[in-house]
Amino acid sequence: MANRYVRQFEFTNTIDSPACPVALEKGAVLLDTKTNTYYLQLKLANIGAVPVSSVKVYIEAFDGEGNPAYSGQTPGIVAEYNVLVPVGEAFGTKQLLPVPNNNAATFRVYIEQVTTNTGYVLDFPREQYTDSTGRDISLERGNALAAAREMQSKQAKTYRKMWGAKWYHVLFAVWILVYLVYLIWVL
């Protein structure tokens, strides 16, 4: 099975949207040697502050001269990833997107819509994307993951303090009750 898909080439995104909590870490064009068909594989990363439950992606492919790589490429390749992705985690590599041929030399991957696990739907129009030479998403993933872990650590510390305070008050109330029972019994 490992020899079934042969990597033709890898790519990074040629466009960027700093406001988007999901970004393309890298992509690859794969050849299925069994069926002789091509697939696009994307590795997306949640670099935002909250978990993501759904992502809609729009992909444009261009040949070496900058022309659309696939005939009839309007509206392009559309994919949707419906998976819960924690902060700082990567996803999408298991979902292969079929492409007509291997004419593409570059890709533009637009993250059009992101749904967080809290139900917020964030839209990112294609007009807001800017050209990019490729950014290092792994550092941003690491920062997002560290921030999420720090927030969880603070929440756990607050919970422990709150739970300890509750037990302190319960024990104090029990002590007062025992003392009152003792006073009534003695008097």
pLDDT surpassing 90 at residue 114: yes
* pTM for this model (two decimals): 0.68
Dist. CA 60–CA 3, nearest whole Å:
28
Dist. CA 167–CA 28, nearest whole Å:
56
% pLDDT > 90, the chain: 13
Q: Which range in 10-24, 41-55, 167-181 is most confidently predicted, on average pLDDT?
A: 41-55
Residues 130-183 have pLDDT tens digits of 766 556 666 666 777 777 778 778 888 887 777 776 777 788 888 999 888 888
